[in-house]
Amino acid sequence: MQIIPAIDIIEGKCVRLTEGDYNQKKVYNEHPLEVALAFEAEGLQRLHLVDLDGAKAGAVKNWKVLETIAAKTNLIIDFGGGIKEEDDVRIVFNSGAALATIGSLAVKNENKFIDWLTIYGAEKFLLGADVKQNRIAVSGWLEQTDITVFDFIDHYLEKGITQLFCTDVSKDGKLEGPSIELYTTIIQRFPELFFIASGGVSCMNDLLQLKEIGCKGAIVGKAIYEGRITIADLSSLNSTGNATS
């Protein structure tokens, strides 16, 4: 299982939200590069970088942060937030992201997203599934659809998507533990999927549980910044082989 630390960006700073609420924002570091370098120094290889300004504005905003981290580290970066037009996709890839993260757009403008899969290759995209009560939520989790997460995954597996991360909105940023039952069901139904758990990780035991049920990756955010899990802990897990696929 790959450990994928998260950096969320607002106004160029490393922050975390609780349940996606911009009014529940906490700044952890004004220099995201320092955070990324610390991850890399401990042997972590991937980074989940989220442009929260971009997500709110509907266009990529913090691409300079991506460009800096990509230029000064060897981390494999997936970047999301505000990717709504092909210009945004180009900016993200030109700035050094290995993967573009797509969530709401895959629901709201399926034809556009499928065009991008054809142009750039499905392997260049990390699909995000934000879930409330097993149904897909979009627009910064403000809008719940009637699409089940299972139908959503099934549809995009047919389109060539291989990597997907799932966030249970009710768990995100609350340090109450991940949605083990939901993730177990997804993994059992879609064994070919490179499935990444996201949201709720509060301690190392949570990560061990996610590995046990067969997650290929786990995104860890607030637990690191709140000191519940140290980067050294993650490195130790990595070095024992428990966190690498």
The terminus-to-terminus CA distance of the chain in angstroms comes to 5
Kindly list the distances between the CA atom of residue 174 and the CA atoms of 16, 39, 219, 225, 245, in Å, as whole numbers in the listed order.
11, 22, 14, 13, 27
Give pLDDT, residue 234: 87
pLDDT of residue 117 exceeding 90: yes
- Give the pLDDT confidence of 183-214 residue by residue, as tens digits: 999 999 999 999 999 988 999 999 999 999 99
In a domain, 106, yes or no: yes
Total number of domains in the chain: 1
In a domain, 212, yes or no: yes
* Backbone angles phi and psi of 118, in degrees to 5: -70, -45
Residue with tokens 């995209």: 125
- Give the pLDDT confidence of 50-97 residue by residue, as tens digits: 999 998 899 999 999 999 999 999 999 999 999 999 999 999 999 999
Task: Find the DSSP H helices in the chain.
Answer: 32-41, 52-57, 63-72, 86-94, 104-108, 110-120, 149-158, 180-189, 204-213, 222-225, 231-239
Q: Exposure pattern of 140-150 as b/e (b: 16+ CB <10 Å)? A: bbeebeebebe
CB 198 within 8 A of CB 187: no
Q: Is 130 helix (H, G, I), strand (E, B) or coil?
A: strand
Give pLDDT, residue 235: 79
Among the listed ranges 80-94, 121-135, 162-176, which one has the minimum average pLDDT value? 162-176
Give pLDDT, residue 128: 96
In a domain, 228, yes or no: yes
In a domain, 244, yes or no: no
Distance of CA 91 to the CA centre of its chain: 18
Give pLDDT, residue 239: 45
In a domain, 178, yes or no: yes
Instruction: State the average pLDDT over residues 150-160.
Output: 98
In a domain, 245, yes or no: no
Residue 111, domain CATH: 3.20.20.70
Q: Domain of 55?
A: 2-239
Structure token pair of residue 36 = 């990324």
Q: Which position has the higher pLDDT, 23 or 69?
A: 69
In a domain, 174, yes or no: yes
In a domain, 232, yes or no: yes
Tell me which residues are annotated as active site.
8, 130
Give pLDDT, residue 245: 36
pLDDT confidence bin for 106, thresholds 50/70/90? very high
CB 106 within 8 A of CB 112: no
